[in-house]
Chains A and B, each alone.
Chain A
């Protein structure tokens, strides 16, 4: 009876495991995601070792010391503990944690910087701002703005400058990099690059209300040549983005894809313009930033996205 259950369970667990090779996070297509996948595999192997030790010990104890196996009248002894044993299972975990700490700090500083292999390339800066429930991508360099999709050249580092027009969201492209929050009063930086041309799934992963489930976008990585062609195509065909139109975009809920020339950064700038790339400690805005922020306030107030509740 128990065996049958066990087999059924095994079947249920193994089927999805077999498709595991396709799991997005473990199938990286860019240097940052590759670093993360490597960290994940390293930690899974390390943890599997710990599980193995615990499980072997556990099964040994259960098999050897069950009451039905003992002689009748067997009285278990009184054992206080053992300094040697207890030291062992303090020291070995400490060593494992130390090892993983080093891995963590090294890999975190890797993913928080321009990928090493692309050090010589000038990073492409793209502003990614969320509003309920869509993503606005602004290319200050190319003077282009898109909604719900973003095109990037392959093998060039991209820095996404993340912020939000209202609720807190999280910008996540599993195959290219991890995620970071986009928030209303600060700008975060996400470093990302794509190895190969292709279409990659991205989404907001931080719950942001009724339209959250559908808040997805597409990252299209294309060769530098195709990218340049796309840029010139946009300039040839797309309409310019006007403030009035942008305000309407903010107001609308879900939207399809849109393409414009010009960006909203001119008339509706990001919360804080200067942002050190290593990330930002919350709470310690400099005086200058504060002032900048204050000046923005007027603009914030006549932002339609924020008047929902009234």
Chain B
């Protein structure tokens, strides 16, 4: 395996470069996936039937906490990648750990939010609107959950194997994924919650 030392480790081998390029295309597919979910949501947003509207169930505080937590985690994963490039393994692990804890925090608030909705009579089956809302949020939440475990496994590998071209590549791709989830959340925050509350 040829290792090119003139570039950051995550780009150091041919295989690494292919993986990063491939992952960008994967993100392109994910954009199409979430785009379809958003389109479905916008189509059905007024189809509330006898169920509640967004205006009736959305609450600002949990959504603000989720937004704050997720945005911060995007910042800390950036710090982790920075530490990785500097070769600071311990700092990298700390920042990744914080990122994942924030991810967990986000998920807890989201689960609380979902149970509140169900209690208020807005479950998955209530109306086309609630189906679309919970599916959109749930898909994002499932991505965060998957990301949590993925990140955890990468942390274990970095801790055991150190920062090698392989682990650096994985961590960098993970950070792309995490930032992407953040971008999706910003769209959810603006076009689902804020627009719904207005």
Direct chain A–B contact by Cβ atoms under 8 Å: yes
**Residue B49, interface by CB 8 Å:** yes
Residues of B with C-beta under 8 A to A238: none
In the complex, are the beta carbons of A283 and B43 less than 8 A apart? Answer: yes
In the complex, are the beta carbons of B49 and A285 less than 8 A apart? Answer: no
Contact partner of B50 (CB less than 8 A), chosen from A283, A285, A297, is: A297
How many pairs of A and B residues are in contact by the CB < 8 Å rule?
8
Shortest A292–chain B CB gap in Å is 13
Residues of A with C-beta under 8 A to B47: 290
> Interface residues of B: mostly helix, strand, loop or mixed?
loop
In the complex, are the beta carbons of A290 and B50 less than 8 A apart? Answer: no
In the complex, are the beta carbons of A297 and B46 less than 8 A apart? Answer: no
Residues of B with C-beta under 8 A to A38: none
Residues of B with C-beta under 8 A to A285: 46
Shortest A283–chain B CB gap in Å is 6
Residues of B with C-beta under 8 A to A297: 49-50
Shortest A16–chain B CB gap in Å is 44
In the complex, are the beta carbons of B43 and A294 less than 8 A apart? Answer: no
Q: How far is the CA of A297 from the CA of B50 in the complex (A)?
A: 8
Q: How far is the CA of A297 from the CA of B127 in the complex (A)?
A: 12
Q: How far is the CA of A290 from the CA of B128 in the complex (A)?
A: 13
Residues of B with C-beta under 8 A to A294: 49-50
Interface bits A186-222 vs B (CB < 8 Å: 1, else 0):
0000000000000000000000000000000000000
In the complex, which residues 281-307 of chain A have their Cβ closer than 8 Å to any Cβ of chain B? 283, 285, 290, 294, 297
The chain B residue sitting closest to A298, CB to CB, is B50
Q: How far is the CA of A290 from the CA of B129 in the complex (A)?
A: 13
Shortest A97–chain B CB gap in Å is 29
Interface bits B44-82 vs A (CB < 8 Å: 1, else 0):
001101100000000000000000000000000000000
Given contact pairs A290-B47, A297-B49, A297-B50, a sample of 5 additional A-B residue pairs in the complex whose CB atoms are under 8 Å apart: A283-B43, A285-B46, A290-B46, A294-B49, A294-B50
Q: A interface vs B, CB < 8 Å?
A: 283, 285, 290, 294, 297
Nearest first, the 7 A-B pairs at minimum CB distance are: A283-B43, A297-B49, A290-B46, A297-B50, A294-B49, A294-B50, A285-B46
* Pairs across A and B, CB under 8 Å, 8 listed: A283-B43, A285-B46, A290-B46, A290-B47, A294-B49, A294-B50, A297-B49, A297-B50
